[in-house]
Amino acid sequence: MSLNLQQLAAALHLKFLGEADLTITGLASPKSAVRGDLCFIQHKNYLSDIAASRCSAVILPPDLSSEIDDKALLISDDPQYSFVQAIAALGFEQRPAAAGGIHPSAQIAESASLGPEVSIGGLSVIGENVEIGAGTSIGAGSVIEDSVRIGAHCLIHPRVTLGQGVTIGKRCILHSGVVVGSDGFGLVEHQQRWQKIPQLGSVVVEDDVEIGANTTIDRGALDDTIIEQGCKLDNQIQVAHNVRIGAHTAIAACVGIAGSATIGRHCKISGAAVVLGHLSVADNVRITAMSLVTKDIKQSGVYSSGTPLMENSLWHRANARYKSLDKLAQSVAGLEKTKE
């Protein structure tokens, strides 16, 4: 699909500078762009990339519009968001094609209820009393256990497992390898042996949630684990039992959230961070990569922990000094007493 500059500007509700009939046929980064492609930049640091690019048009903020005179311009207060809109306007959204109805190798219980235009991929298993909303696609090899409810227009990629009684809202995307509703890690030690605690809760995933490949979300012990609307979870995240993640929170890969933790709304948790169990994180909190959250975060803001990268020999010296901090603190305290 292609649009001319004027049509694209109208679709994106943006002002434009350049020839109205200039044809836009593709989207690319500045370095890989060819004639007819659209790019975007958000900062002046990337002006040199645009200057060297073969792209035909650029989405950029108003304060940079005077810096480029050899390409068509679309003026946006949020160029990245406008570029995402352009992807849809030009028909480049990558939603895999539906499986094409019900594959003959799929096993579907007689009590399952499938809405109109549902597609089920090969070798999928749909359990008893499952409800699947209109327009939802279930990828090949997925297992949807008994009494699961899936809303309309969801995209379940191949090899997803939804445990018994799980609820998935509307317009959700679950990537390959996702497991929702496995047992939480509930154990009690009795006479030096571990006794499994039955996990009687479930998982509720609300509308417009996306869950990345190989992410696992455990069912609650008694109450449900809840992922509120609009959350975006990256790959290989572990969400333990009875966790609640607030609406529109984004979590990067390899994060671990321990049991009964509560994450607020509109939070951003960077890769490989860990939140310990039974803690609460306020709304609008950003946790930087590899941080360890050991206590409640009660106010919005940016929080960090851990040791940043440094040259190896310097790290060894710093580590050795770290081990001496307690002795040093005692020495300083002794000197202060002497002064008194």
Residue of 241, 266, 278, 316 marked active site: 241
DSSP states of 17-41: ES-TT-EE-EE--TTT--TTEEEE-
**Cα–Cα distance for residue pair 222/260, rounded to 1 Å:** 11
DSSP calls for 102-117: B-TT-EE-TT-EE-TT
203/278 Cα distance (integer angstroms) = 17
Question: Is 241 among the residues known to form the active site?
Answer: yes
Other Cβ atoms within 10 Å of 339 Cβ, number: 6
- In whole angstroms, give the CA distance from residue 137 to residue 130: 14
The DSSP bridge partners found for residue 188 are: 195
Query: Which pair of tokens denotes residue 59?
Result: 């989405």
For residues 238 and 257, what is the distance between their CA atoms, to the nearest angstrom?
Answer: 6
Burial of 300 (C-beta count, 10 Å sphere; 0-12/13-18/19+): middle
* The one-letter amino acid at 133: G
Q: Which residues are catalytic?
A: 241
